Amino acid sequence: MHVVPPSLPAVNTLVQVQRLGLVEYAPTWALQEELLAATVAIKTKNRLVETGGTDVGLQPTPNHLLLCQHPHTYTLGKSGKPEHLLLDEAGLQAHSATFHRINRGGDITYHGPGQLVGYPILDLDNFRPDIGWYLRALEQAVINLLAEYGLRAGRIAGLTGVWLGWEPDAPNPRKICAMGVKCSRWTTMHGLALNVNPDLSYFGYIVPCGITDKAVTSLAQELQAPVAVEEVQERLLPHLLTQLGCS
């Protein structure tokens, strides 16, 4: 007897965008975890339905994108070294900063006012289940955005993120956008941090991403002019949707 396999749930490429403004880090991390857990729960239920030999009850999974800024915050990824934070507890308090050990990949980074942070919580089974592709898509969205401002950004081999002065013979390579992600059952969280006009002195209290021989920059510093985070946010959004194949 020929058995017809159950059909997969409909692929959902819609993304629900939340513009959160300036929000504390911890509750935003908790929101990401909540959204990821809800998506993974749907995927787990779908798998149980499929193994039961029916397609009744299969549900498409949601996708989310959180856009925000944070107060002064340092986060250390799973592979990071605590000594890359150069402030003790008193130093953190003196600079009105918080510190969080988190579950993304990568080393230490800084978040603060003037930095645009994007947290995609995407089911990559709706798009392409490939972390390398996903990271390159995020990078390309930022590269294309910066081209609108007349900046020629690119990648440095072996280093995730977006750089200026990235060419092999460039004398002053400098990072303008950091990235770090976590993926569970092909569902992503964490994401990218684009320096629009933050106080760059806060990067002086860490070894950014564990890299000692390259600088950090911002859009405002490169343009020598103020730039509104809200403007960059709205200009980045269509590039993210295009590169990821979202709507």
Measured CA to CA, the distance from residue 141 to residue 244 in angstroms comes to 9
Is residue 209 among the annotated active site residues?
yes
Task: Name residue 204's amino acid.
Answer: G
CB-based contact 115:70 (threshold 8 Å): yes
Measured CA distances, 192 to 14, 42, 79, 200 (Å) = 20, 26, 17, 17
Helix (H, G, I), strand (E, B) or coil at 46: helix
Helix (H, G, I), strand (E, B) or coil at 50: helix
Question: Which H or E element spans position 221?
Answer: helix 219-223
Measured CA to CA, the distance from residue 124 to residue 131 in angstroms comes to 9
Burial class (CB in 10 A: 0-12, 13-18, 19+), 5: exposed
Q: Going by DSSP bridges, is the β-strand pair 174-184/215-216 parallel, antiparallel, or unpaired?
A: parallel
Counting runs of H as helices and runs of E as strands, what totals does the chain give?
Answer: 5, 11
Q: Which one is catalytic: 68, 177, 183, 209?
A: 209
CB-based contact 97:85 (threshold 8 Å): no
Residues forming the active site: 209
